A and B are shown apart, each in its own frame.
Chain A
Amino acid sequence: MARRVSARRVLVSTAAAWFFGFLIFLPILWMFLTSFKTELEAFATPPTFLFFHWTTENYATVQGRSDYLLHALNSIIVAGGSTIIAMIIAVPAAWSMAFAPTNRTKDVLLWMLSTKMMPPVGVLVPIYLIYQNLGMLDTRTGLVAILCLGNLPIVIWMLFTYFKEIPKDILEAARMDGATIGRELVYVLTPMAIPGIASTLLLNLILAWNEAFWTLNLSTSKAAPLTVFIASYSSPEGLFWAKLSAASTLAIAPILVLGWFSQRQLVRGLTFGAVK
């Protein structure tokens, strides 16, 4: 398309886009601003926008709470752990389905995806009871296990699509060049698959970090990640908006950054290839 779009049209589009974009982003922006206010300021009417007394006391308070650090650590361990374990299981599975498919492969893949479509609440009761009996309630291991299983279908699916995109004949060339399967994997497949693996890791890290069903139901204090920590602000005492904002900003900031890099992966991962 080598025609110029009229300057007026660009201006109108830009204005409209920025307006609506800003509108959508407003809650997050507002939360960010509130985190730098004092509690009184945060609750005041009419609300102040930029010219208020900026303070970092809320951040200090939140980070000073010993349980905040614990919950942050839990989020990292649970999200990171479940994703890494899922990747370890998924990479061989996706490899096998992408490079040695059988007549059943498509059905297996679809079945795996369908397990993700099962509403978690449908198995809340047995999972809760099993966890209770095994003493896994409120443990990081328990959360890692369930989040891993929950995200496994998406991880496998995404890796499968990335592997499928590796041209078959490059792998055959490696075989003609004398590479055994192991060396083909190490020297050719993996380097070519690294971007795809990284993207999958990123998106699923985000999904695990934000998971708010199992984390809310299977953990309370010791293993609770940030999702639960924030939820504790739902029945607080006294003025808490500024602190909530600070805690929330801390909780979501890393993910927003990662999320920016994961946009395309989001489409690939969560539409299960139904949209190209």
Chain B
Amino acid sequence: MATQQTKVLARSLLTPAVALLFIWMIVPLAMTIYFSTLRYSLLDPGSEIFVGLENYRYFLTDPAFLASLRNTLVLVGSVLAITIVLGIPLALLLDQEVIGRSIVRLMVIAPFFVMPTVSALVWKNLLMHPVSGLLSWISTLLGMEPIDWFNDAPLFAVILIVSWQWLPFATLILLTALQSQDEEQKEAAEMDGAGALPTFVYLTLPHLARPITVVILIETIFLLTVFAEIFVTTGGGPGLQTTNIAFLIYSQALIQYDVGSASAGGLVAVVIANIVAFFLVRIIGRNLEA
């Protein structure tokens, strides 16, 4: 369909976007790699020396790194688990005939559109405050001790906030997938004598396998770099308890001004993200063919 003239025009229309993204990718990344080989502190500019891979060795053996890695995995894993385990039944529920369904949808979707700093602060103060927060009031109602979230279970508190924000995403994706399920297939199963549970297990769940995978991959990519919620509630603490890799790098760069180390860390983060991205891109690519 593209004749010669359109081909040339098309190439030139694409160039600005490709060029910009290319520069955006390459230049900072190249600089990060370069910096990661220096001992470079912003407190002492001009005295950078080449130290090869020492920054990596330092970063990767730094107990702070290991702690942040652990926190990152716990954070990502927990949020994934919560959003999917709660998202599936929620999506199933929203797929039913419900009076006022559109309003319920709005309520369920809303958290995703709230800016992270607002979510975090509202949760930290209005909800999780051990004395005046709504959650503590509810727990006293139920006869339980209110939890001092940010002192006793800071990482879990952050996990809760982030899960709340991302639950709509998982739900929406799964709901979309449910609604694209072949009705006739379900009717055939019904004719074959399958009840609700077998239909769910043998037809719906397999149909959801792909969307769940997509949710996992996409959430992972974005959850690896959770930042604002931590920045605004705990500043990484107490100690390192809520420091994930993203926050660790940030604190090294802009609090300790250790550029070299932060760059090494940044690269580690990029590598981890790339691994996940590889799988996601493969799925997207396969879909593009179809």
Contact = CB atoms under 8 A, between A and B. Distances in A.
Interface of A: 1, 5, 9-10, 13-14, 16-18, 20-22, 24-28, 30-31, 34, 42-47, 89-90, 92-93, 95-97, 99-102, 106, 108-110, 112-115, 117-130, 149, 152-153, 156, 168, 172, 181, 206, 209-210, 212-213, 216-217, 226-228, 230-231, 233-234, 241, 244-245, 248, 251-252, 255-256, 258-260, 263-264, 266-267, 270-276
Given A34-B126, A149-B20, A245-B126, 4 more contacts: A89-B20, A117-B221, A125-B262, A210-B116
B22 to A, nearest CB: 9
Nearest to B17: A93
Given A17-B101, A114-B277, A31 B14 contact: no
Interface string B1-18: 110011101110110111
Interface string B109-145: 1111111111101111111000110101100000000
B66 interface: no
B250 A92 contact: no
Given A263-B109, A272-B284, A121 B250 contact: yes
Contact of B114 (A96, A256, A263): A256
A276 B14 CA distance: 26
Contacts of A9: 96-97
Contact residues of A: prevailing secondary structure: helix
Contacts of A89: 16-17, 20
Interface stretch (B57-65, B167-175, B197-205): B167-175
A48 to B, nearest CB: 11
A47 B14 contact: no
A276 B180 contact: yes
B21 A153 contact: yes
10 contacts: A21-B105, A27-B122, A89-B16, A93-B18, A110-B288, A115-B21, A122-B29, A122-B270, A273-B284, A275-B211
Interface of B: 1-2, 5-7, 9-11, 13-14, 16-18, 20-21, 24-25, 27-29, 31-32, 35, 90, 93-94, 96-101, 103-119, 121-127, 131-132, 134, 136-137, 164, 167-169, 172-173, 176-177, 180, 183, 210-211, 214, 217-218, 221, 224-225, 227-228, 231-233, 245-246, 249-250, 253-254, 259, 262-263, 266-267, 269-270, 272-274, 276-277, 280-281, 283-285, 287-289
Nearest to B227: A213
A133 to B, nearest CB: 11
